[in-house]
Chain A
């Protein structure tokens, strides 16, 4: 019970006090462990591919492999269960990008392969490509102008 009169003006503060807080330490722990583990798996693929390729290509292929694995885990309905406790630990790695591409594709296949899969695939991940490409072009042009 609040010790003051709840009004429309102080309602947000009252609700904030009343809200159950997520267990921040637990979230952060799992984000760290899962995020770190995904990167370690990525590193393992880099070491593996380095046997055959140069380090640049090995790194790209390792990321590609993670993207493929995450896509399959999304298909089998596993990735969302990891995300439920790992939070940013499964969102921020490239696997989270893959999950963001594959999950709407899967979800909207009922609307067909043109307006469903095709149109909705980048529902969540589209902003990443759009912002990423834009910023890369801007930075590259700036480098040209100012000689990097």
Chain B
């Protein structure tokens, strides 16, 4: 495998076959209404617990992506993915129904891009079809990371809203009629600027996003204007502003290209404050929105930077700061 420096990889044959999304009701009321393959009317999805609902969303997304790519379950070599629950149970349990091998990943909300990088690398090593998936569910994440749902609390204006949704992408080493490929990627490193406020994830993750973006630009000798858009995962509005400041300081003006999957997911009147967060943000926006825009030729070259905050409630209670990670892929049509 070719690479520039240690962390920036080049992929020759990571073709995107199809992407499939399952979105929650609030997400489908947002800016991307109608973009999703399956929009749930009720985020219980006919199950008796939220955890089972999240699991079923993964099952649907995996099966949906395989069917949409005109494949059968037997064609998939490996399923790679993760979610936000302890022991990444949602995707692992959903993978019980698959014949494929399974790699469970966890990099918080950067998991989707992480899975794309791992999948692309496996295709370079001779696999035919790899399915990459990630997602999150508001109600399961809320009670694991924050408060019970019915507890009356005043939310801080820097909070974000964990998005409900799952995205799945089928990657293949076979050439596709509409060629959309993952061409390069940068594996992020863990960056911690000492942010303690668990409500303010955007501020915790922005330095890591800057680190990965600048590393990629320097390694590949590119500039932001080489790209139609640069999408970050779930920095939110405040986090995006901070990222622009940090990047400008490093000599890169990304204000014309920068968008954030989480911040763009909802309308302002949906009261999500800084926008969406969660592994679902990049998985939903990439598979539902960016892929179709690339198919239509609106975008030729884009960057997708998945951002993740790597803390747990335990580390927060013990007074530790929030480490963050950002992985990046370059997608070319």
Return the contact of A107 from the options B150, B153, B207, B242 (Cβ within 8 A): B150
B51, B150, B203, B246 — which one has the most chain A CB atoms within 10 A of its CB?
B150
Q: Which of B73-81, B97-105, B177-185, B192-200 contacts A (4 or more CB under 8 A)?
A: B192-200
Q: Does A82 have its Cβ within 8 Å of any Cβ on chain B? A: yes
CB distance from A36 to the nearest CB of B (A): 17
What are the residues of chain A within 8 A of B158 when measuring CB–CB? 19-20
The one of A5, A96, A106 in contact with B152, judged by C-beta atoms closer than 8 angstroms, is A96
Report the Cα distance A21→B158, complex, angstroms.
9
Contacts of A75 in B (CB 8 A): 150
Number of interface residues of B (CB under 8 A): 30
CB distance from A79 to the nearest CB of B (A): 5
Contact call B200/A79, Cβ cutoff below 8 A: no
Q: How far is the CA of A11 from the CA of B195 in the complex (A)?
A: 8
Among B84-92, B141-149, B215-223, the stretch that binds chain A is: B141-149
Chain B residue with the shortest CB-CB distance to A90 = B152
Please determine whether B150 and A79 come into contact, CB atoms closer than 8 angstroms. yes
Q: Which residues of B contact A85 (CB under 8 A)?
A: 154
Chain A interface extent, by class: 35 or more
A16 to chain B, nearest CB (A): 9
Q: Closest chain A residue to B241 by CB distance?
A: A18
User: Smallest CB-CB separation from B204: which chain A residue?
Assistant: A15
The one of B148, B194, B241 in contact with A12, judged by C-beta atoms closer than 8 angstroms, is: B194
**Cβ of A77 under 8 Å from chain B:** yes
Contact B156 A80 (CB under 8 A): no
Query: Which of B48, B50, B148 gathers the greatest number of chain A CB atoms within 10 Å?
Result: B148
CB of B49 within 8 A of chain A? Answer: yes
* Shortest Cβ distance from residue A52 to the other chain B in the assembled complex, whole angstroms: 32
- B200 and A83 contacting across the interface, CB-CB below 8 Å: no
Provide the residues of chain A in CB contact with B249, threshold 8 Å: 5-6
Any chain A CB within 8 A of the CB of B238? Answer: yes
Q: How far is the CA of A19 from the CA of B241 in the complex (A)?
A: 10
Contact across chains for B152 and A81 when beta carbons are under 8 A apart? yes
Extra A-B contacts (13), CB below 8 Å, given A6-B245, A80-B150, A110-B49 = A11-B195, A19-B200, A19-B238, A22-B157, A80-B152, A91-B152, A99-B150, A100-B151, A102-B150, A103-B149, A106-B148, A110-B50, A124-B151
